[in-house]
């Protein structure tokens, strides 16, 4: 029994409705195991731009800093132009959180549920046995490199983004991936574009160095275009995939289809910081704010709920509780409950709230 503080940033679109279900699940965890969770809610993204004039305020950043973990929904919406050049975008909130808290390691586990193998666009026989983890570098690369701008020249507009990585940045994400592989099937695939990009050539060099410190782990390189292909051709052959920021962003949307839907994939963003309980981190579904389906009970809360499970595991060090939440989700899917995104003939189609209710009920009875 312990007490923990969790910053809750529901955000925009379907963010609030899926986060609400994750909170119900955390309340159920608190009840069953006698923990105390202090939830501190704040605005982020378009909601915060509207009410506070910026995607995330300093006050909200401080609230996060004082917490053991951050439970994040989704951000998105139309950018607001400020003056001639500056544009405020809801996504800047997420980038600020990642950067300021140095959450450089984004863990995106992809483990399709057996009962959903037939709903995927990929053949069940190809998916069979898939259990992979994408370790996405989250605070470097094109997302943060400077310059990044559109500028006017004598020949018209031009635009530039900068893909920059330091040795130290590559080394720490590589070590994270190898450490994680040791707790799994001990295979690391480093993904880059070393046949073209200088940043990838350094990536490969550092990766090779780090690999020598882990002789017990099998290591391979794969070009990102080939990886995109092999992910749907032989997904079960991967264990840990480690890659730079933008490649990881793209490959994980692709990989989500192995699990049936974007609505199934959770993520954990971790850095070096430790709290009294565990690792400080931010937890969010990999999906976006999906404004087209917001408020219609169509969103799948599973990604948000599984993100809460990762929060329990990594930041609060509540391992059996995390496992119980994951089992409750699987139990609910096995019992035939499906949201719109993974709907199936002959199964029980339910809304966001009802899916949450079923998972909460399952949580009260699953073995722990
Ligand atoms: C993600 C999202 C974000 C990203 C957006 C919202 C900035 O797509 O977490 O994958 O590109 O990292
Ligand atoms: Mn993305």
Domain annotation for the chain: domains and CATH numbers = 1-112+261-368 (3.40.718.10), 121-136+165-259 (3.40.50.2300)
Beta strands in 200-357 (DSSP E): 218-223, 240-243, 266-274, 279-285, 337-338, 348-349
Region of 134 on the Ramachandran plot (φ > 0 left; ψ -120 to 50 alpha; else beta): beta
| Dist CA 283 CA 306 (whole Å) | 9
User: What is the rounded CA–CA span in Å between residue 39 and residue 14?
Assistant: 19
pLDDT digits (tens, 9 = 90+) for 92-137: 999 999 999 999 999 999 999 999 999 999 999 999 999 999 999 9
- Please report which confidence band the pLDDT of residue 204 belongs to, taking 50, 70 and 90 as the band edges: very high
Give the pLDDT score at 84.
61
CA distances from 343 to 57, 86, 362 (A): 39, 42, 20
CA distance 132 to 109: 6
Average pLDDT of the segment spanning 261-287: 97
Q: Round to whole Å and give the CA distance between 21 and 304.
A: 8
pTM of the shown model: 0.97
Burial of 289 per CB tally in 10 Å (0-12, 13-18, 19+): buried
Active site residue 193: yes
Atom of ligand 1 nearest to the CA of 76: 6
For ligand 1, atom 11, which residue shows the shortest CA distance?
Answer: 249
- Of all protein residues, the one whose alpha carbon is nearest to atom 1 of ligand 1 is 286
Q: Which helix (H) or strand (E) holds 245?
A: helix 245-256
Residue pLDDT, tens place only, 239-267: 999 999 999 999 999 999 999 999 999 99
For residue range 324-356, what is the model confidence (pLDDT) as tens digits?
Answer: 999 999 999 999 999 999 999 999 999 999 999
């Amino acid at each position: 029994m312990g007490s923990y503080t969790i910053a809750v940033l529901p955000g925009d679109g379907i963010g609030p409705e899926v986060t609400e279900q994750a909170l119900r699940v955390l309340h159920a965890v608190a009840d069953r195991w006698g923990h105390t969770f202090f939830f501190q809610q704040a605005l982020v993204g378009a909601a915060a731009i509207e009410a506070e004039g910026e995607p995330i305020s300093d006050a909200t950043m401080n609230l996060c800093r004082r917490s053991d973990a951050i439970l994040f929904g989704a951000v998105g919406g139309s950018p607001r132009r400020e003056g001639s050049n500056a544009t405020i975008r809801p996504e800047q909130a997420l980038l600020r959180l990642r950067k300021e808290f140095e959450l450089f390691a984004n863990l995106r586990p992809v483990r399709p549920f057996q009962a959903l193998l037939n709903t995927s666009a990929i053949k069940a026989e190809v998916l069979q046995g898939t259990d992979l983890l994408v370790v996405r570098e989250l605070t470097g690369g094109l997302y943060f490199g400077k310059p990044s701008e559109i500028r006017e020249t004598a020949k018209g507009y031009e635009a530039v983004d900068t893909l920059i990585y330091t040795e130290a940045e590559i080394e720490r994400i590589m070590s994270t991936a190898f450490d994680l592989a040791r707790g799994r099937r001990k295979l690391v695939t480093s993904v880059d574009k070393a046949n073209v990009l200088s940043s990838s050539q350094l990536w490969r060099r550092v990766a090779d160095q780090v690999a020598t410190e882990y002789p017990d782990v099998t290591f391979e390189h794969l070009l990102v275009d080939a990886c995109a292909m092999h992910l749907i051709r032989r997904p079960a052959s991967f264990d840990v995939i480690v890659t730079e920021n933008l490649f990881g962003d793209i490959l994980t949307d692709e990989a989500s289809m192995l699990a049936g839907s974007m609505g199934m994939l959770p993520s954990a963003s971790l850095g070096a910081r430790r709290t009294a309980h565990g690792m400080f981190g931010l937890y969010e579904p990999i999906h976006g704010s999906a404004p087209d389906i917001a408020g219609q009970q169509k969103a799948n809360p599973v990604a948000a709920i599984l993100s809460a499970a990762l929060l329990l595991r990594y930041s609060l060090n509540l391992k059996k509780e995390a496992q119980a939440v994951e089992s409750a989700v699987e139990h609910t899917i096995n019992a035939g409950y499906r949201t719109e995104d993974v709907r199936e003939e002959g199964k029980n189609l339910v809304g966001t709230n009802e899916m949450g209710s079923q998972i909460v009920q399952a949580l009260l009875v699953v073995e722990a």
